[in-house]
C-alpha cells in the first residue's frame, strides 16, 4: 500500500468513527504513521482525501474520449462513463462511506458537485466536437453530455444505496437508452421516416418496406 493509500484509508476510518469535522489532519497522520509534510505532499486538504483518484480518473476519461475513432463516438462516450462507474465499484465500501460523508458534510458535497461538473465539461467538449457547429447542435451536445452524467449517476446511486446487484448491466442498459434517445449522432436522422398510424403495424410493414427499398 502506498503512503497515499495509507493516508486515505486512515482518513476514511477516522471520518466513519468520529465524523469529518471532528477529525484533524494530525489525527489522520498519527493513524497512518506519517508526518504532516507527507500528508500535504499527497493531498492539498482534508477535503481532497475524500476524492483521492479524481484527477487520474478524469484523465482516463479524457484519454478514452481522445481515442474515439470516427463513427465510434457513441461507444467512446459510453465506455468513458463506464470507466468512472467501474472505478467506484472497485472501491466497494470506500465508495459507500464517501457517499454517506458527502451527504452529511456540505463542503464535501460542494467538492463532489464541482468534480461532477468537470466530467460534464469533458463530455460536453467531446459532444460539441462530434455534433459540429450551430446553435441546435450546441444544445444537443449539452443535453447529451448532461444525460450521460445523469445516467451514470442514476445507476451509481442505485448501487450505493444497495438497490441493485447488477450495476454493470444496469449501466449498459441506461447508456443504450441515452444513446437511443439522442440517436447515434447529429446526422442520424438522415433518411429516417417517422410517421404515426392507427393501423396494425404488422399489416402495414411489408408494404412500407417495399415502398422504401
Q: Which of 135, 162, 165, 202 binds a second copy (CB under 8 A)?
A: 135
Residue 121 has φ and ψ, to the nearest 5°, of -65, -40
Residue with cell 457547429: 133
DSSP 66-118: HTPPTT-HHHHHHHHHHHHHHHHHHHTHHHHHHHHHHHH-HHHHHHHHHHHHH
Q: Which of 151, 156, 179, 186 binds a second copy (CB under 8 A)?
A: 151
Q: Which of 44, 90, 133, 199 binds a second copy (CB under 8 A)?
A: 199
Q: Note whether 105 binds a second copy by CB under 8 A.
A: no
> Considering beta carbons, is residue 122 or 174 the nearer one to a second copy?
174
CB of 187 to a second copy, least distance (A): 12
Q: Note whether 71 binds a second copy by CB under 8 A.
A: no
Q: Which of 1, 92, 136, 202 binds a second copy (CB under 8 A)?
A: 136
Contacts 24+ apart (CB under 8 A), 184-192: 184/74, 185/73, 185/74, 185/130, 185/131, 186/130, 186/131, 186/132, 186/137, 186/140
- CA atoms of 134 and 23, how far apart (whole Å): 51
Q: Which of 45, 66, 113, 134 binds a second copy (CB under 8 A)?
A: 113
> Considering beta carbons, is residue 38 or 118 the nearer one to a second copy?
118
Q: Which of 46, 174, 179, 186 binds a second copy (CB under 8 A)?
A: 174
Q: Which of 51, 140, 159, 167 binds a second copy (CB under 8 A)?
A: 140
- CA atoms of 50 and 53, how far apart (whole Å): 9
How many residues make contact with a second copy (CB under 8 A)?
Answer: 40
Q: Which of 69, 162, 192, 202 binds a second copy (CB under 8 A)?
A: 192
> Considering beta carbons, is residue 100 or 208 the nearer one to a second copy?
208
Contacts 24+ apart (CB under 8 A), 102-108: 102/50, 104/19, 104/20, 105/20, 105/21, 107/47, 108/20, 108/47, 108/50
- Candidates 33-41, 64-72, 89-97, 194-202; binding stretch for a second copy (CB under 8 A): 194-202
- CA atoms of 48 and 12, how far apart (whole Å): 12
Interaction site with a second copy (CB under 8 A): 110, 113, 135-136, 138-140, 142-143, 146-147, 150-151, 154, 158, 170, 173-174, 177-178, 181-182, 191-199, 201, 204-205, 207-209, 211-213
Amino acid at each position: 500500500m502506498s503512503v497515499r493509500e495509507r493516508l486515505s484509508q486512515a482518513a476514511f476510518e477516522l471520518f466513519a468513527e468520529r465524523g469529518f469535522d471532528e477529525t484533524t489532519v494530525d489525527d489522520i497522520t498519527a493513524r497512518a504513521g506519517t508526518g504532516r509534510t507527507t500528508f500535504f505532499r499527497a493531498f492539498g486538504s482534508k477535503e481532497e482525501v475524500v476524492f483521492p483518484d479524481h484527477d487520474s480518473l478524469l484523465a482516463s476519461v479524457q484519454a478514452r474520449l481522445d481515442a474515439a475513432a470516427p463513427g465510434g463516438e457513441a461507444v467512446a462516450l459510453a465506455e468513458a462513463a463506464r470507466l468512472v462507474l467501474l472505478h467506484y465499484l472497485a472501491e466497494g465500501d470506500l465508495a459507500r462511506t464517501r457517499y454517506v460523508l458527502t451527504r452529511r458534510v456540505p463542503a464535501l458535497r460542494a467538492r463532489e458537485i464541482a468534480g461532477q461538473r468537470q466530467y460534464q465539461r469533458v463530455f460536453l467538449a467531446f459532444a460539441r466536437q462530434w455534433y459540429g457547429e450551430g446553435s441546435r447542435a450546441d444544445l444537443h451536445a449539452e443535453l447529451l453530455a448532461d444525460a450521460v452524467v445523469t445516467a451514470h449517476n442514476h445507476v451509481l446511486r442505485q448501487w450505493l444505496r444497495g438497490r441493485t446487484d447488477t450495476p454493470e448491466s444496469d449501466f449498459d442498459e441506461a447508456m443504450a437508452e441515452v444513446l437511443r434517445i439522442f440517436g447515434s449522432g447529429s446526422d442520424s436522422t438522415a433518411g429516417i421516416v417517422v410517421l404515426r398510424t392507427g393501423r396494425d403495424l404488422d399489416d402495414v410493414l411489408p408494404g412500407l418496406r417495399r415502398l422504401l427499398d
